[in-house]
Structure 1
Amino acid sequence: MKTRQIVTLALITALNVAVARIFLIPVVFTHGNINLCDAGIVLSGIVFGVRGGALVGGLSGFLLDLFSGYPQYMIFSLVIHGTQGALVGTAQTRSLKEQLLVCGGAIGVLVGGYFIADSLLYGWSAGILGIATNLLQGIVGTGLGLVLARRAPKIRAQKW
């Protein structure tokens, strides 16, 4: 990776954490939260590919949990959101229809990953209760991320 790309990804990660921290809704029954972190992850995956999506995804999820008071989720978020970003990054050069299919799979990774995390931390009932909120977060964040990625041609046009 070139220095310019590393700096750009670091700035997007910082911005993603800040925006997600501002728009954070605690979910009492799972001890987690709903946030807009997924929007930045999808944007990074579509614009920067697999590595960019994985880096922004993993670091954003990890740091957001650290700064928001959810340290029990940090490692889970690193893996779940990193995988989500890498998966979305595979759709970088594909059509919108294919991007939507890949993003659907990434939402599945998000929901399934946090089902496992909630179940391990707080029992099966918390895992089941978290499915709806994680699905909502995934759909809203992915939709916003796809809209932002379509509006980012100048970022995409830069040569790395």
Structure 2
Amino acid sequence: MGVLLSTKLREFIEKFFLCLVIGELLLTLSLISYVDATVGGLSPEIHIGSWEKISIALYLTFALTSLILPLLGLKSPNPAYLPTSTLIASILAAYSAVIIPLMLKLASFIGFLLAIVSSLLYLMSFWCSKEELRRFKFIITTTDIGAISIFSAITAILTAGVGAIFPSPTGGYTHIGDVGIFLAALLYGSKVGGLVGVIGPFIADILLGYPRWYVSLLAHGVEGVIAGLGKGRNAIIRAVYLAIAGLLMALTYFFVNVFIKGYAPALISFMRDLFGQAGISLVLAMIVYEPVSKALQKS
């Protein structure tokens, strides 16, 4: 009996990971195909209209989210998040296949086909792990709701307030809103950190009229999730997780900017996001974390 269960488990793992790995690979190839069809690949500077920037950035955000979600599902301690993440990735991958043809009237049969096949493979991964959904629990306590509300507001204020004063010469704006995300994540964990990373920057982008707000949802959402892994750790580990979170945020914007602005301005923006935004926010968050944590424990 034990051998039979072991064999079934091995078969499940092999099928699941095979579908997932091939799906990730095909979606990456689809992304390359669509990028080639739209901007022709990498270039020092890319000059396209605002609608093209919005469309390409939207496509890249959906495709990148599809690639990242299953990886976050694998990392999650809750096994039910794995089928959930692959199902969402399947939907987003399928949608990414039609963004460029619909919004820019540009066709890439190979890109479309690869994205659809990738979506089906994600769906197969979901099907292989769907039994784990029985253990799905996403509990938000009243404390979580209060923390999300407060830190989302703090993040929005620090983002929009500072960002309005320091616009970036390459587009976007420089701010210290990541302080709110980092604090929420360190104090309450990845769930709260991720939601604050989505809500706070979204509000700020709407207030400032940033047209590619959907990129912020991914960049800062992932940032909050990763930063939350530092909850309850010592100062060095906390700083490491915040640094990784900030790096991933900056890389997300860099990835999108490379294909809508060119790699020269994208590199400038990357340095600004990494050092001028995430770096300063990391230092400030580490400074205020201890007093805020102690104050919360006393309350």
TM-score, scaled relative to structure 2: 0.50
Contact preservation (8 Å) 1:42, 1:145: yes
Worse-matched range after superposition: 47-56 or 7-16 = 7-16
Query: Would the alpha carbon gap of residues 103 and 15 (structure 1) be closer, same or farther in structure 2, given more than 3 Å must change?
Result: closer
Comparing both chains, which one has the higher relative contact order based on Cα–Cα distances under 8 Å and sequence gaps of 6 or more? Answer: 1
> What number of residue pairs does the alignment pair up?
156
Among residues 167, 185, 207, which one is paired with 1:67 in the alignment?
Answer: 207
The answer to whether structure 1 residue 145 and structure 2 residue 296 are counterparts is no
1:53-76 C-alpha deviation (Å, 9 max, x unpaired):
10111111222111112122x111
Which residue of 2 is the match for residue 114 of structure 1?
253
Cα separation, 2, equivalents of 1:141 and 1:49: 18
Structure 2 equivalent of residue 51 of structure 1: 191
Q: Is the 8 A contact 1:41 1:145 kept in 2?
A: no
Shift of 1:157: 5.9
Asked if 1:26 corresponds to 2:206, the answer is: no
Q: Return the offset for 1:154.
A: 2.6
CA gap 1:64/1:156 in 2 versus in 1, 3 angstroms: farther
The amino acid of 2:181's aligned partner reads I
Secondary structure at the counterpart of residue 33 of structure 1:
coil
TM-aligned CA deviation for residue 121 of structure 1: 2.7
Whose Rg is larger? 2
Q: Which residue of 1 aligns with 2:265?
A: 126
Instruction: Specify the code of the residue in structure 2 equivalent to 1:27.
Output: S
User: Is the CA contact (8 Å cut-off) linking 1:23 and 1:35 kept in structure 2?
Assistant: yes
- Looking at structure 2, the residues matched to 22 and 63 of structure 1 have their Cα atoms a distance apart, in angstroms, of 12
Aligned-residue identity in percent: 21
- The answer for the alignment partner of 1:154 in structure 2 is 295
Query: Any stretches of 5+ residues in structure 1 without a counterpart?
Result: none
Secondary structure of 2:233 counterpart: coil
**AA matched with 1:50:** S
Distance in 1 separating the partners of 2:272 and 2:143: 36
Give the C-alpha shift of residue 37 in structure 1: 0.9
Can you list the C-alpha shifts for 1:11-55, whole angstroms capped at 9, x where unaligned? 2211221122221211022x1111011110110010010101101
Match of 1:86 among 218, 225, 232: 225
Matched residue SS, 2:231? coil
- Deviation for aligned residue 1:4: 3.6
Q: What's the offset of the Cα at 1:5? A: 2.3
| CA RMSD between the two structures | 1.6
Structure 2 stretches lacking a partner, 5+ long: 1-139
Q: Structure 1 stretch 49-58 or stretch 126-135: which is displaced more?
A: 126-135
CA 1:21–1:156: 2 relative to 1, 3 Å: farther
What is the rounded CA distance, in whole Å, between the counterparts of 1:60 and 1:121 in structure 2? 25
The corresponding residue for 1:99 is 238
